């Protein structure tokens, strides 16, 4: 079977650190081209400054991975889907729920695969955590997701603009995990969003959710953490406590602790290949819906200006 010819659109840090190595390590794909108006591309790989130029001038591609900021992703995805090209959407899948729904309908109409790639769901501890929780009663959940924005997103102005999500850019990773592992749906009860006075998106947030059986779920998000970073999910159940740490890579349950190597993006590309070969899409918007609810219902607090 011929490999899937894929182009990476948007050659920023996430593309170079994660997407390109994952593509190189998956025999189902061959990197056909890169696209970026600012990055020079890779030696020996055709490069274009825009997706339209690639589609008009070649080389031919079967799929694109959109690693651009979410605010500009809809038009790129629609352009590719119009030509029947499969589309991988980096997280979050779009700037709004409505545009992702429109893309999903378009993909169905043309018979192309659309994949919303929640990379944290492919962290090593997530699948076994989901299986363990399926047989337990969840009593309480606590999420602490604190990191240093200057380390992970230096100089990325788009992330502070409307649609860039601010601290929900990493926070949505935690939401992608808990919407996947918790056995019951949950919804937002209250939220406080802390915005620097010079930014349009929050630098911190406190959220309170409740699942459909009444179990409370708290989430503490902060982009001002220095020193050790915190990416922890603690689930108290009738059979003891489960903890996912290091973003889901380490799972601790009453019977012991499991440590595994990172395979998030290889897992994503394995899933993308399976979807393409099977003629299916996977566009879960639950994590983005919860973020939208936080902006809809959250109380705003203004804090001191933030500067990189």
The residues spanned by each domain of the chain are 4-119+265-283, 121-259+292-303
What kind of fold does domain 121-259+292-303 have according to CATH? Dihydrodipicolinate Reductase; domain 2 (3.30.360)
pTM attached to this predicted model: 0.95
Percent of the chain with pLDDT over 90: 94
Residue 147 sits at φ, ψ, to 5 deg, of: -145, 175
Q: Are 206 and 219 in contact (CB under 8 A)?
A: yes
What positions carry a catalytic annotation?
Answer: 91
> Within the chain, what is the greatest distance between any pair of CA atoms?
60
| Dihedral angle sign, alpha carbons of residues 302, 91, 47, 82 | negative
Q: Hey, what's the torsion of the CAs at 94, 99, 104, 106, to 10 degrees? A: -130
| Tens digit of each residue's pLDDT (9 = 90 or more) over 152-204 | 988 889 999 999 999 999 999 999 999 999 999 999 999 999 999 999 999 99
Task: Tell me if residue 86 falls in helix, strand or coil.
Answer: strand
Confidence of residue 308 (pLDDT cuts 50, 70, 90): confident
So what's the pLDDT on residue 140? 98
pLDDT at 258 exceeding the cut of 90: no
So what's the pLDDT on residue 257? 75
Mean pLDDT, the chain, integer: 96
Percent of the chain with pLDDT over 70: 99
Report the CATH superfamily, name and number, of domain 4-119+265-283.
Answer: NAD(P)-binding Rossmann-like Domain (3.40.50.720)
Confidence of residue 55 (pLDDT cuts 50, 70, 90): very high
Confidence of residue 256 (pLDDT cuts 50, 70, 90): confident
So what's the pLDDT on residue 255? 87
| Tens digit of each residue's pLDDT (9 = 90 or more) over 211-238 | 999 999 999 999 999 999 999 999 999 9
């Amino acid at each position: 079977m011929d490999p899937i010819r894929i182009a990476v659109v948007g050659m920023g840090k996430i593309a170079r650190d994660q997407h390109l190595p994952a593509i190189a390590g998956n025999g189902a794909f061959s990197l056909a081209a890169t696209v970026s108006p600012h990055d020079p591309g890779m030696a020996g790989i055709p490069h274009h400054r825009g997706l339209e130029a690639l589609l008009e001038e070649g080389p031919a591609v079967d799929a694109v991975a959109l690693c651009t900021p979410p605010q500009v992703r809809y038009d790129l995805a629609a352009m590719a889907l119009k030509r029947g090209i499969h589309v991988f959407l980096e997280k979050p899948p779009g700037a709004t729920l409505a545009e992702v729904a429109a893309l999903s309908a378009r993909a169905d109409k043309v018979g192309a695969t659309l994949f919303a790639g929640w990379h944290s769901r492919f962290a090593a501890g997530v699948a076994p955590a989901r299986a363990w929780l399926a047989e337990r009663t969840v009593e309480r959940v606590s999420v602490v997701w604190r990191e240093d924005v200057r380390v992970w997103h230096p100089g990325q102005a788009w992330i502070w603009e409307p649609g860039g999500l601010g601290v929900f850019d990493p926070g949505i990773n935690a939401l992608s995990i808990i919407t996947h592992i918790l056995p019951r749906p949950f919804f937002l009860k209250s939220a406080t969003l802390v915005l620097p006075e010079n930014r349009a998106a929050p630098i911190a947030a406190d959220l309170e959710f409740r699942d459909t059986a009444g179990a409370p779920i708290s989430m503490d998000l902060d982009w001002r953490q220095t020193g050790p970073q915190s990416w922890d999910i603690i689930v108290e159940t009738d059979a003891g406590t489960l903890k996912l740490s290091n973003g889901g890579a380490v799972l601790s349950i009453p019977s012991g602790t499991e440590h595994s190597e990172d395979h998030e993006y290889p897992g994503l590309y394995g899933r993308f290949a399976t979807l393409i070969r099977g003629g299916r899409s996977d566009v879960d918007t639950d994590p983005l819906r919860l973020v939208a609810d936080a902006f809809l219902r959250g109380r705003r607090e203004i804090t001191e200006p933030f500067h990189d």
